[in-house]
């Protein structure tokens, strides 16, 4: 097996790690993987928040020291996860103390 990420593996031979037409799944075989990870739409809220937190922790190191491909994947994954968050919480609370100007 080949590692696809911290918790994902891909079978090199057809089986539970591969779906028809080559769509990868996570190690359990139940969540489809996107090019940069598990499809955010299939994540529960806790998993989505955990993925976002992990991504933000790795951000500076990826920006400063990662190769171009890693930075590109980071941008894509950030967009995927943040878009899913905004889709789920379009009316999220905005802390007025965080505003820098009146909107």
- Identify whether residues 29 and 62 lie together within a single domain: no
Q: How far apart are CA 13 and CA 75, in angstroms?
A: 30
Q: How far apart are CA 21 and CA 3, in angstroms?
A: 20
What's the rounded mean pLDDT across residues 53-71? 94
pLDDT over 80 at 68, yes or no = yes
| Domain assignment present for 81 | yes
- Identify whether residues 44 and 80 lie together within a single domain: yes
Give me the number of domains the chain comprises: 2
Q: How far apart are CA 88 and CA 16, in angstroms?
A: 29
- Identify whether residues 49 and 29 lie together within a single domain: no
- Identify whether residues 7 and 18 lie together within a single domain: yes
pLDDT averaged over the chain? 75
Q: 32 near 25, Cβ under 8 Å? A: yes
- Identify whether residues 2 and 21 lie together within a single domain: yes
Q: What are phi and psi of 94, to 5 degrees?
A: -110, 125
- For the CA atoms of 10, 13, 14, 20, the dihedral, rounded to the nearest 10 degrees, stands at 60
pLDDT tier, 73 (very low <50, low <70, confident <90, very high otherwise): very high
- Summarised one tens digit per residue, pLDDT across range 13-34 is 434 443 333 344 445 555 544 5
Instruction: Print the domain residue range for 25.
Output: 1-34
């Amino acid at each position: 097996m080949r590692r696809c990420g911290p918790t994902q593996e891909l079978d090199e031979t057809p089986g539970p790690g591969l779906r028809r037409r080559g769509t990868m799944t996570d190690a359990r075989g139940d969540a489809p993987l996107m090019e940069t990870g598990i499809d955010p739409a299939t994540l529960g809220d806790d998993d989505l928040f955990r993925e976002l937190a992990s991504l933000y922790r790795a951000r500076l190191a990826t920006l400063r020291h990662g190769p171009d491909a890693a930075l590109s994947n980071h941008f894509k994954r950030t967009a995927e996860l943040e878009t899913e968050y905004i889709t789920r919480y379009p009316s999220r609370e905005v802390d007025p103390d965080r505003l820098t100007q009146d909107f």
